[in-house]
């Protein structure tokens, strides 16, 4: 290996070690002020408005996105744009999270206006003697951090520490909210993550899109219900007098019976339905519904609640729409 390559790799390792050290040092800096920051955001009746300039601003965008995706309403405001009308987005019930390593960037000029609005200010800074720190309600001090930049100027270790501390804030609040996987999925409907966490209840056809018929209903009327239901799911859940699921009739069943003539069209639903059909609970994951349809080579499955009442239907087309 050429000598200059070894030197480059050694320098890159030093960068990673310095940034890792910056994060590690934050552990011992967490004290009661971190709990104050947690409480300030957790009990906030408005939104968490995040702002910053330069690299700190970019880190702020990510922190805001993490907060929003874990159940804390948040958005990012550019510090410069805020002075040209975007201050109107901030209300007295908000918490304004300000990021600045030096604590002396132009974000400081926003503080008098934020104070006038009545919003609380939470700062993440590397200078607890700065103007930002003095005018904030709660200060999270990351301390003086050595930047691995050859000139010691480009924000890198300091911005990494800000990002890690922002994650610690967001995820601690996420834990404190006791959100379920279903709640998390609600904020992530797209992509692989969303597909893994979607529940049947989120995508099933329900109410007027969920065709249901009594077991004594004439088959011709069942076919009419199947045809006239919005979305045309191609199946009907069959219930008894107690509204409990006892069968299922699909367009596949119709085609199979037609092979033996048309006399069955004068039967009732209970005479031609599939008894004890496969079902899935509304709380199950969509991935489980997908496996059920695939394993049994069926196109629809009734969705039931704890009392075995059909409250919805899942069609293979519904799964295609959410990426399965």
CATH number for the segment(s) 197-321: 3.10.580.10
Question: If pLDDT is split at 50, 70 and 90, which confidence band does 5 have?
Answer: low
Residue 187 has a pLDDT of: 67
Q: What is the rounded distance in angstroms from the CA atom of residue 103 to the CA atom of residue 109? A: 11
Q: What is the rounded distance in angstroms from the CA atom of residue 18 to the CA atom of residue 25? A: 10
78 is known to lie in a ligand binding site: yes
Backbone angles phi, psi at 68, to 5 degrees: -60, -40
Given a contact cutoff of 8 angstroms between Cβ atoms, the answer to whether 166 and 62 are in contact is yes
Location of each CATH 3.10.580.10 domain in the chain: 197-321
Q: What is the mean pLDDT of residues 59-78?
A: 93
Task: Give the CATH class of 3-179.
Answer: alpha beta
Indicate if the pLDDT at residue 1 is higher than 50: no
Indicate if the pLDDT at residue 314 is higher than 80: yes
Given a contact cutoff of 8 angstroms between Cβ atoms, the answer to whether 77 and 86 are in contact is yes
Location of each CATH 3.40.50.10490 domain in the chain: 3-179
Q: Would residue 119 be called left, alpha or beta, if left means φ above 0 and alpha means ψ between -120 and 50 degrees?
A: beta
Best CA proximity match to 89, nearest among 62, 125, 114, 111: 114
Backbone angles phi, psi at 127, to 5 degrees: -140, 95
Report field, pTM of the whole predicted structure over 0.85: no
Q: What is the mean pLDDT of residues 193-210?
A: 85
Mean per-residue pLDDT over the chain, rounded: 90
> Measured on CA atoms in the order 252, 257, 260, 261, is the torsion positive or negative?
negative
């Amino acid at each position: 290996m050429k000598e200059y390559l070894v030197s480059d790799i050694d320098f890159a390792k030093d960068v990673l070690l310095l940034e890792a050290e910056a994060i590690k040092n934050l552990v011992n800096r967490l004290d009661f002020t971190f709990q104050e920051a947690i409480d300030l955001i957790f009990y906030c009746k408005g939104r968490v408005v995040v702002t910053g300039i330069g690299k700190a601003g970019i880190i702020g965008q990510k922190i805001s996105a993490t907060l929003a995706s874990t159940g804390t309403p948040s958005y990012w405001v550019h510090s410069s744009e805020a002075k040209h009308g975007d201050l109107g987005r901030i209300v007295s019930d908000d918490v304004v999270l300000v990021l600045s390593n030096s604590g002396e960037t132009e974000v400081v000029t926003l503080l008098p206006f934020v104070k006038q609005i009545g919003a609380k200010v939470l700062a993440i800074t590397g200078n607890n003697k700065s103007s930002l720190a003095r005018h904030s309600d709660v200060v999270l001090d990351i301390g003086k951090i050595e930047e691995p930049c050859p000139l010691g100027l480009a924000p890198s270790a300091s911005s990494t520490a800000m990002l890690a501390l922002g994650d610690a804030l967001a995820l601690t609040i996420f834990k404190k909210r006791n959100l379920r996987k279903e709640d998390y999925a609600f904020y992530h409907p797209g992509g692989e993550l969303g597909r893994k966490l979607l529940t049947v209840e989120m995508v099933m056809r329900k109410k007027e899109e969920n065709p249901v018929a009594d077991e004594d209903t004439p088959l011709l009327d069942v076919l009419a219900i199947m045809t006239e239901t919005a979305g045309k799911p191609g199946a009907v859940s069959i219930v008894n007098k107690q509204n409990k699921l006892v069968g299922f009739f699909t367009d596949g069943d119709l085609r199979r019976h037609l092979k033996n003539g048309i006399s069955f069209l004068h039967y009732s639903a209970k005479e031609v339905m599939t008894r004890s059909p496969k079902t899935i609970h509304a709380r199950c994951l969509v991935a489980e519904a997908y496996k059920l349809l695939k394993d049994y080579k069926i196109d629809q499955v009734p969705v039931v609640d704890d009392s075995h009442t059909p409250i919805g239907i899942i069609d293979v087309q519904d799964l295609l729409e959410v990426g399965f």
